[in-house]
Structure 1
Amino acid sequence: MRLFAAVLPPARAIDELAVAVERLHTLPGSGGLRWTGHDGWHFTLAFLGEVDEEILPVIEERFGRAAARQDPFPLRLHGGGHFGRRALWVGAAGGIDAMRLLADRADAAARRAGVAMEEHRAYKAHLTIARSRTGFDTDLRPYVEALAHFEGTAWTVGELALVRSNPPVPGVPGAQPRYEPVRVWPLGR
């Protein structure tokens, strides 16, 4: 199964972001982007990749410990950015240092559980809202400029989620990956 650790924004934050993203659809070139579905909006903390179900109990135990060591923290959706011409994202503000620490703890928990993780790199809090379509060369800067003043309502991050990623249905135009939480742990002791 394909797994990742994540922070899942609450429905209110998703609704606020949906309004901002809907406005982006009116910008020139928006057809050159593959927009992610609202149910897939999340902050990935650590990508575990393909994992044997046999080690899932060890992963769950390690993630439970990581969540217990992390206090809840404030967060809000804020502004936007892009990775080259590949991906458009919304950022975060508030407890960024705490989120970075939670990402580091999730990465370490996966490694200790025996997951062969990619090389560790500095965590950048981002929630992907669109990716460039193959064959399109969409300039993402106007979208980032449109998101510059976006400020979501703050909430308290109180959970660490282990999420399963199911690939899109092959041959179905516009099909999106489907995400399902496998397990969620409260933060703090």
Structure 2
Amino acid sequence: MNEQIQAATVRVFIALAPPDDAKEELAQALRPAYDAYPRMRWNRIEDWHITLAFLGELPRSAVSLLRTPLARLAAGHRPLRLALRGGGHFDERVLWSGVDGDLEGLRLLAGEVRALVREHGVTFMDRPLTPHLTLARCRRDDASSAVRAAAGLSAFTGRTWQAERLHLVGSNFGRGPGPIHYRDIEHWAFGGAG
């Protein structure tokens, strides 16, 4: 998909996306939490992703410069076998599902992506990779909800799936009020031997 970027700048990250059936499997496991914690701000299932590099706010020109190198990187990289497993929380306010499977391959891919981005002049805060999929956030006055919801996910074991594409994603293209929404700017199939 080649999405036209509308604003002068866009908030950008590079990610993997689980297939729809793996996301549905996790959503099914989350049904009790959806009902029990309605005040949490639940991410839309179509926005679930595994971030490899969060680049922040970038000018359109910088985003355009990354497209060809990211396409080449994807073409030479093998697909990864991953699964969603368990749950946890960051700072008692952010609920997530863990990632299992080829974590060494995931870390290597994230390192390659981050090095490529830096080589093309984009500076960003390079945080350690903690493979996860963010599910929801809660308000400060309701922090225990994320902790309890994470405990409810502790036994979740999703099916293994193959990450087959690298995604360049932008958030809040319209910049209007309301929740954050993500949209592929572009994505590329992995082409290496799997």
Shorter chain as denominator, the TM-score bin is 0.7 to 0.9
Residue 136 of structure 2 is aligned to residue 130 of structure 1? yes
Counterparts of 1:134 and 1:123, CA distance in 2: 25
Question: Could you tell me which residue of structure 2 aligns to residue 106 of structure 1?
Answer: 113
2:179 aligns with 176
CA distance 1:57–1:139, change in 2 (3 Å): closer
Per the alignment, residue 149 of structure 1 pairs with 155
Q: Could you tell me the percent identity over the aligned residues? A: 36
CA contact (8 A) 1:32 1:137 kept: no
How does 1:27-38 map onto structure 2 within 5 Å?
27=36, 30-38=37-45
Q: How does 1:79-94 map to 2 (within 5 A)?
A: 79-94=86-101
Cα distance in 2, alignment partners of residues 161 and 142 from structure 1: 31
- Contact 2:137–2:146 (CA under 8 A) maintained in structure 1: no
Contact 2:74 2:165 in 1 (8 A): yes
Query: In structure 2, what is the Cα distance between the partners aligned to 1:137 and 1:71?
Result: 39
What is the distance in 2 between the residues matched to 1:2 and 1:54? Answer: 13
- Report what 2:28 is aligned to: 19
C-alpha distance in 1 between matches for 2:145 and 2:31:
18
Q: Is 2:167 aligned against 1:161?
A: yes
Secondary structure, in 3 states, of the residue corresponding to 1:51? strand
Root mean square deviation, CA, Å: 1.8
1:13-71 deviations in Å (ceiling 9; x for gaps): 111111111111243xx144211111111111111111111123321122123223321
Q: Could you tell me which amino acid in structure 1 is paired with residue 185 of structure 2?
A: V
The number of aligned residues is 182
Q: Is the 8 A contact 2:93 2:140 kept in 1?
A: no
Runs of 4 or more above 4 Å deviation: none
Q: Determine whether 1:52 maps to 2:55.
A: no
- Calculate the TM-score normalised by the size of structure 1: 0.88
The equivalent of 2:82 in structure 1 is 75
2:15 is equivalent to residue 6 of structure 1: yes
Contact 2:98–2:133 (Cα < 8 Å) also in 1: yes
Residues in 1 aligned to 2:140 and 2:93: alpha-carbon distance in whole angstroms: 10
Cα distance in 2 between the residues matched to 1:110 and 1:185 = 16
Q: Structure 2: 5+ residue runs without aligned partners?
A: 1-9
Task: Work out the CA distance in 2 between the residues paired with 1:112 and 1:66.
Answer: 13
**Structure 2: which amino acid aligns with 1:16?**
E
Contact 1:80 1:91 in 2 (8 A): yes
Work out the CA distance in 1 between the residues paired with 2:18 and 2:138: 24
Distance across 2 between alignment mates of 1:129 and 1:123: 17
The structure-2 alpha-carbon separation of the partners of 1:137 and 1:26, relative to structure 1 and needing over 3 Å to count, comes to same
